[in-house]
């Protein structure tokens, strides 16, 4: 109740709620691709290497979010290229990009002159501090992601489902795979503002993973995941407000709990159905 009365009067809470809703669109759509294509580890590598770009941008007095976008896209292209050309060493190379990106970020942030930046806000996000310019950027990224998915839905589905067949039908599989990873990278930047880069992979994948347990087509999973993402971010924000808990971590705990309950419940229903069949 305290949250709702504060929501009406406090603009920072309104911004936070809006940031959560905007993040839900990206996480629902791109999280679905990450889950069905099983590229969670790749997405994790992209997410964590983003700190390198943020640190460098901060060191040179530029916007950390712009640094994050550049670093995320570069990491996506390198990881994608490794996946396409050098698959046998993929795990090692992703791990290297993952940790080297973070190490670069930590060094640049530590060496930034002037007051010390709050590293925790990059690592764990701060939805209550999203400025108006951050919201505009999130809206822009959402519009871009939705437009690309609507225009190339057929090709992206083909590349996720059956790469070989897509290639035979004249689809440039390498291009669409790299495009997909770049879109995942942009989504990571969207979500970092809400939950930070440590927890971003959970918000990216959990809504879609829950939705995929109930829906039978990619489009339905996307729509359900967007709704679930909105419920988790808004619910996490509301629940964390009164006891003054970190909002990002509360959002992830809600999403994780729902995923766990859903998975266990489905397992029980399936085993009950098997018993009935016998």
Sign of CA dihedral 26, 28, 31, 33: negative
Indicate the residue among 224 and 234 with the shorter CB distance to other proteins.
224
3-class secondary structure, 210: helix
Report in angstroms the alpha-carbon separations of 139 from 22, 123, 132, 208: 6, 22, 11, 20
The least CB distance from residue 188 to other proteins, in Å, is: 23
If phi over 0 gives left and psi between -120 and 50 gives alpha, with beta otherwise, what is residue 170? left
Pair 186, 23: CB distance under 8 Å? no
If phi over 0 gives left and psi between -120 and 50 gives alpha, with beta otherwise, what is residue 235? alpha
Indicate the residue among 49 and 155 with the shorter CB distance to other proteins.
155
Indicate the residue among 170 and 243 with the shorter CB distance to other proteins.
170
The least CB distance from residue 33 to other proteins, in Å, is: 11
The least CB distance from residue 68 to other proteins, in Å, is: 29
Tokens of 58: 């901060």
Closest alpha carbon to 240 in 254, 229, 226 = 254
The least CB distance from residue 147 to other proteins, in Å, is: 11
The least CB distance from residue 218 to other proteins, in Å, is: 6
Indicate the residue among 189 and 209 with the shorter CB distance to other proteins.
209
Indicate the residue among 138 and 218 with the shorter CB distance to other proteins.
218
The least CB distance from residue 36 to other proteins, in Å, is: 6
The least CB distance from residue 160 to other proteins, in Å, is: 8
Binding site for other proteins (CB under 8 A): 36, 150-155, 157-158, 160-162, 164-171, 212, 215-218, 220-221
Provide the H-helix boundaries in the chain. Answer: 2-9, 11-37, 40-59, 64-85, 90-110, 119-124, 132-151, 153-161, 163-168, 173-212, 218-241, 247-277
Indicate the residue among 132 and 162 with the shorter CB distance to other proteins.
162
Closest alpha carbon to 236 in 226, 247, 245, 227 = 247
Indicate the residue among 164 and 244 with the shorter CB distance to other proteins.
164
| Exposed / middle / buried, residue 117 (Cβ in 10 Å: 0-12, 13-18, 19+) | middle
């Amino acid at each position: 109740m305290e949250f709702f009365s504060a929501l009406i009067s406090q603009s920072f809470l309104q911004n936070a709620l809006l940031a959560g809703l905007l993040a839900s669109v990206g996480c629902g759509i791109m999280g679905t691709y990450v889950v069905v294509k099983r590229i969670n580890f790749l997405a994790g590598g992209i997410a964590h290497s983003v700190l390198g770009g943020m640190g460098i941008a901060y060191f040179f007095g530029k916007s950390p979010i712009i640094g994050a976008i550049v670093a995320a896209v570069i990491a996506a292209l390198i990881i994608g290229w490794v996946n396409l050309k050098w698959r046998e060493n993929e795990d090692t190379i992703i791990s290297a990009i993952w940790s080297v990106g973070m190490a670069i970020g930590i060094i640049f942030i530590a060496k930034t002159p002037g007051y010390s930046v709050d590293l925790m806000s990059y690592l764990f996000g701060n939805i209550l501090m999203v400025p108006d310019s951050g919201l505009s950027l999130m809206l822009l990224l959402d519009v871009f992601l939705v437009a690309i998915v609507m225009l190339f839905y057929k090709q992206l589905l083909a590349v996720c489902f059956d790469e070989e067949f897509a290639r035979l039908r004249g689809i440039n599989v390498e291009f669409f795979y790299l495009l997909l990873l770049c879109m995942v990278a942009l989504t990571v930047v969207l979500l970092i503002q809400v939950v930070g880069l440590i927890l971003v992979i959970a918000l990216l994948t959990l809504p879609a993973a829950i939705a995929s347990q109930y829906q039978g087509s990619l489009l339905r999973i996307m729509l359900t995941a967007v709704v679930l993402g909105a419920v988790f971010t808004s619910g996490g924000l509301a629940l964390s407000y009164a006891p003054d808990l970190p909002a990002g971590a509360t959002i992830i705990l809600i999403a994780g709990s729902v995923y766990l309950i859903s998975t266990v419940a489905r397992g029980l229903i399936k085993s009950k159905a098997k018993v009935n069949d016998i």
